Amino acid sequence: MSQLYSYSQYLQNTFGAKTYKIVVASGLTCPTRDGSIAKAGCAFCDVRGSSSFFGKQGRGKSVADQIQKRIPEVRERFGAQKFLAYFQSYTNTYSDIDYLRTIYEAALTHPEVAGLCIGTRPDCIPDPVIDLLEELAERRYVSLELGVQSFEDPTLLWLERGHDGQSSIDALNRLKERAPHVHTCAHLMFGSPPDSRTNPRDSALLLNQLGVKGVKLHQLMILENTELARRWKEKAFHTLSLEEYAEQVLEFVEHLDPSIYLERLCAQATHVDECLAPVWSRERWHPHNVLRSTLEKNGCVQGSKIRNPSSLPA
Ligand code: SF4
């Protein structure tokens, strides 16, 4: 038996009903795409391959129209009772305050939207943006999904993220101080060749101090049309086997405070034919089952390897 604080349990605790995310395109870009930092995007990123990508048709549509169109599908498919507007692709705080307020308020105005989930980068949340998020979060649910990816600088350089580990620590500390009502979820990626051996444990111990409410984990994937694909084709490098990845997840979870929910333990490639490595990323259930059985075989209890962990939420 393993004990983890799952995302479904967190949503049930927070909303008391089956809650699903509705993906919404904000029309924004990223500093690694518009030339401010770089033009080609982060080395691993294929926005088109992301399940969140809404395409050109979504970017031109109003936020309200996108939500209105998606809710019936999601309600019917998943039996969802409540909905969160999810600004997932690109950097959804990378704009002036007036535009951000307009798109966030447009989503919150929809009568069936229970709150917002906003994906962004650690170097794109200046204090005025944090203050806007806190103002909204004082009256409605707001979750900020922060693409940390790694706290280790050699890995961040290799991924061409355009920020260092300290940027994420600073961003999370500022969110903790200035925006106590915002639920922050950190995204982490395991399996980059420069990762240190202790990366999973160190990342968990750091996150325990930084006030996050949740974590989303994913493995490094080599997707077509990315800088990593170019490098990999030139000279293939090691990507994690499923068993190696499962060991890292186990190590991470055992050092993660039990009050922090785990939204996802691994990712699945959206376009399987465009995933070059690791090939297990093309499958949906097998990785999930191996991860679960590794955690169970090891009697994994979230936070069991830290001193004075909080108890698992009911
Ligand atoms: S990983 Fe995020 S910040 Fe980097 S290019 Fe892709 S969407 Fe933009």
Domain ranges of the chain: 7-297
Q: Is pTM, for the whole model, over 0.75?
A: yes
Candidate from 45, 87, 124 with most ligand 1 atoms within 8 A of CB, to mutate: 45
Candidate from 44, 47, 48, 216 with most ligand 1 atoms within 8 A of CB, to mutate: 47
Which tokens in the block code for residue 134? 């806190």
Atom of ligand 1 nearest to the CA of 89: 7
Give the C-alpha separation, 103 to 151, whole Å. 30
What fold is seen in the domain 7-297?
Answer: TIM Barrel (3.20.20)
Give the C-alpha separation, 128 to 33, whole Å. 23
> Ligand 1, atom 2: nearest CA belongs to which residue?
90
Low-confidence residues of the chain, pLDDT below 70?
A: 48-61
b/e burial code for range 4-41 (CB count within 10 A of at least 16 → b) = bbebeebbeebbeeebbbbbbbbbbbbbbbeeebbeeb
pLDDT given at position 313: 82
pLDDT tens digit string along 99-122? 999 999 999 999 999 999 999 999
pLDDT given at position 61: 63
Candidate from 32, 118, 270 with most ligand 1 atoms within 8 A of CB, to mutate: 32
Atom of ligand 1 nearest to the CA of 44: 1
3-state class (DSSP) for residue 186? strand
Say how many Å lie between the CA of residue 35 and the centre of ligand 1: 13
Give the C-alpha separation, 276 to 254, whole Å. 30
Assess whether the C-beta atom of 141 lies below 6 angstroms from ligand 1. no
The pairing of beta strand 141-149 with beta strand 275-277: unpaired
